[in-house]
Structure 1
Amino acid sequence: MMSIFLTFSWPLSILKFLISIKAAKLNFLKTNEETLIVIMLTRLLCQPK
């Protein structure tokens, strides 16, 4: 049950994160975006539930 919740919740979080990056795209370099995405993915996947 919890794994199903995670499967559906973390893609939504990533989508929101990517949209926020798009909105602030002028403030980020491409490499910074990729680094932030990796950090966010790591936090989401390692988040204790």
Structure 2
Amino acid sequence: MERLPVVIFPKCHNSAEIIHVLTAQSNQNVIYTCQFCQYVIRNIETNKG
């Protein structure tokens, strides 16, 4: 089974797999959400590859 990248949260220092942290929006922006402390960063701009 393939292992996914793990994200360490900057506020609470817990960790989770990337699929549980990032949400892609239809406008190519990303929302970053910590499940533990509810820290959120919205509208993270990305480059279309």
Please identify which structure carries the higher helix content.
1
Please identify which structure carries the higher strand content.
2
Output the TM-score relative to the length of structure 1.
0.22
Output the TM-score relative to the length of structure 2.
0.22
Which structure is higher in RCO with an 8 Å CA cutoff and minimum separation 6? 1
Which structure's CA Rg is the greater one? Answer: 1
